[in-house]
């Protein structure tokens, strides 16, 4: 029997959808299919040798970052190639957002595609160091990579890639925090400032999904036109859908029978949107941005019709305040103030004046933090005031909220 290298491409990044444990690392409830090194090589062929010329192909394909910010990969590469200092390339697999699970699922199902992507980026950019950055509690993720190393016959000094466990903290997956940590500092975000010394060490951080897509593009295989989503319903699920799938179609496919009242887009520091405003929107980031929304790292939390959005928002803001880096005044004092206002509203312990004070504090915090963490909390607050404006009335007029106040928000320890 002869083996024909068919190089069967793939039209999906995942090997299949998974149901995850409610929060934390992307450990699935039932085992999912993990692609072995042999299967990986059969399907995609060996990792090609690349040079900086790969940049042209990346820009032609329009590869964007998939960590949530959608920065073109070509922009990061151009900046890196202009500078002369030692370069570290990081594969960011730390999903600090308590609900996000698409990256963890990808490294469990196709670790070799991610490893290839990291090594391709390191080779093309002439990097001195390649790092896999994990969330501190992702022990399965670490085991998956260590197993993948053994499959490749890497051991001892032959391992070209380091694995680093970051801290267990909401900000541990933030690119600037990783940059700071890999150069010996604390894993906390810091304000971006122009680096003037071209010889200064530099770090480039790529999300693992971005790297998997890069590994396909470098092989001249098609980059799947899909979006990975983590959806929290009665269960936390990771699915891969076509870019033109609507939000309503995603929920129907996941077994929702009744329309929710609103959806939280992007995760705990995301944006609330009314169901009727987003049901027919495609999940493609381009469509979301055109509607002044974003799905960020692909997290969606539909809010059932009988649940209290004010209470949920209060819980979320309190969680974000507890996850401050405690580095600057607007965050250290501003976020607890926002949390206090929301708690008052949720407890029906105030009048319209609380809403006024909330709005004033949102304005006082917005854009003034050392990093973007406080802006996540102000954006969530603003979108909640809009989305739940009608329901807020019952919280400040003494009419009593008749909605279900208990909504499980995994990871927030409510």
Q: Which is nearer to another protein, 185 or 198 (CB)?
A: 185
The DSSP letter of residue 28 is: B
Exactly one of 57, 129, 359, 368 binds another protein (CB under 8 A); which one?
368
- Whether 151 and 110 have beta carbons less than 8 Å apart is answered as no
Distance, CA of 224 to CA of 218 (rounded, Å):
13
- Considering only residues 317 through 336, tell me which ones interact with another protein, judged by CB under 8 A: 327-330, 333-334
The DSSP bridge pattern shows strands 87-92 and 129-134 to be: parallel
**Binding of another protein by 41 (CB under 8 A):** no
Stretch that binds another protein, among 125-133, 267-275, 361-369, 378-386 (CB under 8 A): 361-369
Q: Which is nearer to another protein, 109 or 176 (CB)?
A: 176
CB of 203 to another protein, least distance (A): 19
Buried/exposed code over 163-199 (b: 16+ C-beta within 10 A; e: otherwise): bbbbbebbbbbbbbbbbbbbeeeebbbbeeeeeeeee
**Binding of another protein by 370 (CB under 8 A):** yes
Helices (H), 350-404: 352-365, 373-387, 389-396
**Binding of another protein by 369 (CB under 8 A):** yes
Q: Which is nearer to another protein, 315 or 361 (CB)?
A: 361
Q: Which is nearer to another protein, 80 or 337 (CB)?
A: 337
Stretch that binds another protein, among 80-88, 163-171, 230-238, 364-372 (CB under 8 A): 364-372
CB of 342 to another protein, least distance (A): 17
| Two tokens, residue 87 | 């370069």
- Considering only residues 229 through 248, tell me which ones interact with another protein, judged by CB under 8 A: none
**Binding of another protein by 359 (CB under 8 A):** no
CB of 328 to another protein, least distance (A): 4
- Considering only residues 250 through 309, tell me which ones interact with another protein, judged by CB under 8 A: none
Here the contacts of 249-257 (C-beta below 8 Å, separation 24 or greater) are: 250/283, 250/300, 251/302, 256/302
Site string for another protein, 171-210 (x = CB under 8 A): -------------------xx-------------------
CB of 188 to another protein, least distance (A): 9
Dmax over CA atoms of the chain, in Å, equals 79
Distance, CA of 254 to CA of 223 (rounded, Å):
25
What dihedral do alpha carbons 396, 315, 231, 374 form, nearest 10°? 100
| Two tokens, residue 115 | 């490893």
CB of 359 to another protein, least distance (A): 14
**Binding of another protein by 375 (CB under 8 A):** no
CB of 333 to another protein, least distance (A): 4
CB of 193 to another protein, least distance (A): 9
Stretch that binds another protein, among 54-62, 166-174, 238-246, 362-370 (CB under 8 A): 362-370
CB of 175 to another protein, least distance (A): 17
Stretch that binds another protein, among 59-67, 264-272, 368-376, 387-395 (CB under 8 A): 368-376
Distance, CA of 386 to CA of 83 (rounded, Å):
45
DSSP string, 64-83: B--SSS--BHHHHHHHHHH-
Under rule CB under 8 A, how many of the chain's residues touch another protein?
Answer: 14
Q: Which is nearer to another protein, 126 or 329 (CB)?
A: 329
Distance, CA of 89 to CA of 355 (rounded, Å):
45
Torsion-angle region of residue 227: left (phi > 0), alpha (psi -120 to 50) or beta? beta
Nearest by Cα to 335 from 386, 414, 391, 268: 268
With H, G, I as helix, E, B as strand and everything else as coil, classify residue 67: coil
Helices (H), 186-254: 208-218, 247-253
Q: Which is nearer to another protein, 41 or 370 (CB)?
A: 370
- Which residues lie near another protein (CB under 8 A)? 190-191, 327-330, 333-334, 337, 361, 364, 368-370
């Amino acid at each position: 029997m002869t083996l024909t290298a068919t190089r069967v491409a793939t039209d999906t990044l995942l090997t299949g959808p998974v149901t995850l444990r409610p929060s934390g690392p992307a450990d699935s409830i039932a085992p999912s299919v993990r692609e072995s090194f042999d299967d990986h090589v059969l399907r995609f062929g060996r990792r090609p040798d690349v040079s900086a010329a790969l940049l042209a192909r990346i820009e032609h394909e329009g590869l964007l970052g998939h960590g949530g910010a959608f920065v073109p990969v070509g922009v990061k590469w151009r900046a890196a190639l202009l500078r002369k200092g030692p370069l570290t390339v990081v594969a960011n697999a730390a999903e600090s957002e308590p609900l996000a699970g698409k990256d963890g699922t990808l490294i469990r199902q196709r670790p070799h595609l991610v490893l290839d992507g990291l090594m391709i980026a390191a080779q093309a950019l002439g990097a001195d160091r390649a790092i896999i950055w994990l969330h501190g509690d992702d022990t399965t993720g670490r085991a998956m990579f260590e197993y993948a190393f053994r499959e490749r016959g890497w051991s001892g000094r032959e391992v070209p890639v380091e694995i680093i466990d970051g801290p267990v903290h909401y900000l541990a997956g933030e690119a600037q925090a990783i940059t700071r940590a890999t150069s010996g500092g604390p894993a906390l975000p810091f304000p971006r400032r122009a680096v003037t010394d071209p010889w200064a060490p530099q770090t480039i951080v790529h999300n693992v999904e971005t790297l998997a897509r890069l590994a396909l593009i470098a092989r001249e295989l098609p980059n799947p036109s899909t979006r990975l989503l983590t959806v929290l319903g009665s269960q936390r699920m990771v699915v891969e859908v076509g870019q033109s799938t609507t939000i309503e179609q995603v929920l129907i496919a996941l077994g929702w029978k009744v329309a929710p009242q609103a959806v939280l887009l992007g995760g705990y520091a995301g944006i609330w949107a009314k169901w009727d405003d987003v049901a027919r929107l495609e999940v493609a980031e381009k469509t979301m941005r055109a509607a002044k929304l974003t799905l960020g790292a692909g997290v969606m939390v539909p809010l059932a019709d009988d649940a209290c959005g004010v209470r949920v928002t209060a819980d979320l803001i309190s969680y974000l305040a507890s996850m401050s880096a405690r580095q600057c005044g607007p965050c250290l004092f501003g976020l607890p103030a926002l949390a206090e206002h929301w708690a008052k509203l949720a407890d029906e312990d105030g009048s319209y004046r609380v809403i006024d004070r909330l709005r004033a504090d949102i304005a006082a915090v917005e854009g003034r933090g050392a990093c973007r963490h406080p802006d996540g909390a102000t954006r969530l607050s603003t979108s909640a005031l809009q989305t739940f404006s009608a329901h807020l009335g019952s919280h400040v007029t003494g009419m009593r909220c008749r909605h279900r106040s208990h909504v499980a928000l995994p990871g927030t320890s409510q």
